[in-house]
Structure 1
Amino acid sequence: MSSVTKDTRITNELNTILNTQLANWSLLGVKLHNYHWFVKGPHFFTLHEKFEELYNTAAEYVDEIAERLLAIGGKPAATMSEYLKLATIQEAAGENSAEQMVEALIADFKALVENMKSGIEIAGEIGDDPSADLLIGMRTEVEKQSWMLSAYLGK
């Protein structure tokens, strides 16, 4: 395989990973709004505020990822139907308890991190430090939020 073909394949893989992140963060933003609106129980005020913080972060990540894709010649997914096809996480389903909401977010964050690891590796292979840096920064924050949510659950 020629280096040009290999570089094109790797660049396409990075674009796919970034679009998966874009789709996941878009879907997660919707899920977090759902949780924000429907959380109930003794921890309502804490979680209501936390979910708002997280959906604002999700919106920032969507914009950063889409702009990075455009900067490297990619095409960001930009419709809900594309997001639903590309996403590796699930929409909010039915009524969940506050604890189930937090557990679902922890699972989603783990899935996001696994995808980020692949993106960081691929970006490194092609010398795309800005894309790697973007994903490393996001990974750092997601792992921190996952730890904090686990601590909230006492786990």
Structure 2
Amino acid sequence: MDNINRIGLDTDKSKELADLLNDLLSNYSTFYQNTRGYHWNIRGDKFFELHQKFEELYNDLFLKIDEIAERILTLGHVPQHKFSDYLEKSIIPESNEITNGTKVIEEILKAFRTLLTKQRHILNFSAEINDEGTNALMSDYIREQEKLVWMYSAYLNN
């Protein structure tokens, strides 16, 4: 029982999972900040529609960031909190394209592709180590984001 953490999971596997979640947290945090920039700076004839949609998106991302950090804590580890660490780890780049709605939505779709790929990997790993809490979280995120990908793609007529 020396290698079992306080929620009954293997300590080494929990550390590995926490590392994966910290990587996900980095990507979410960069995506969140990009989305704030989209919301603040969008221009054009679809301003009102996109301004509102981007606010909905960043509010959702903010909640998920908190849930991921709390899951890392639940696993007995420390969530990263420095933006310099996020930028070093994130494969979602900081956005320079913040005013053109079509280009912004293309960036959003790329970010979702990154998140979905990472979340599926975490989902598989958490299932392997019998971590139902993380598994359920990732499953919910994947389902929600697949629908958003469909909706944003439909907006672009893709």
* TM-score over 0.5 for the pair: yes
Partners of 2:92 and 2:16 lie apart in 1 by 19
Listed one character per residue, the Cα deviations across residues 95-140 of structure 1 (whole Å, up to 9, x for unaligned) are 5511000000001100100000110011011100000100111111
How far apart, in 1, do the equivalents of 2:11 and 2:27 lie?
24
| Counterpart selection for 2:133 from 130, 133, 142 | 130
What's the RMSD between the two structures over aligned residues? 1.6
- The corresponding residue for 2:76 is 73
**Equivalent residue for 1:10, pick from 6, 10, 13:** 13
Aligned partner of 2:145 in structure 1 is 142
1:121 and 1:95 map into 2 onto residues whose CA distance is 34
> Does the 8 Å CA contact 1:20/1:88 hold for their aligned counterparts?
no
Q: Which runs of 4+ in 1 moved over 4 A?
A: none
The corresponding residue for 1:89 is 92
- Post-superposition CA distance 1:44-86 (Å, at most 9, x none): 1111000000000010001000001000112101110111112
Q: Identify which of 93, 96, 101 aligns with 1:98.
A: 101
Contact conserved, 1:106 with 1:146, CA < 8 A, in 2? yes
* 2:118 pairs with one of 115, 120, 134: 115
- Within the candidate set 24, 30, 35, 2:33 is matched to 30
Ranges in structure 2 where 5+ consecutive residues have no aligned partner: 5-9
Identity level (%): 36
**TM norm structure 1:** 0.91
Shift of 1:10: 3.3
Please say if residues 113 and 142 of structure 1, whose CA atoms lie closer than 8 Å, have aligned partners that are also in contact: yes
Q: Name structure 1 gaps, 5 residues minimum.
A: none
Report which of the two has the higher share of helix: 1
Cα distance in 1, alignment partners of residues 91 and 144 from structure 2: 19
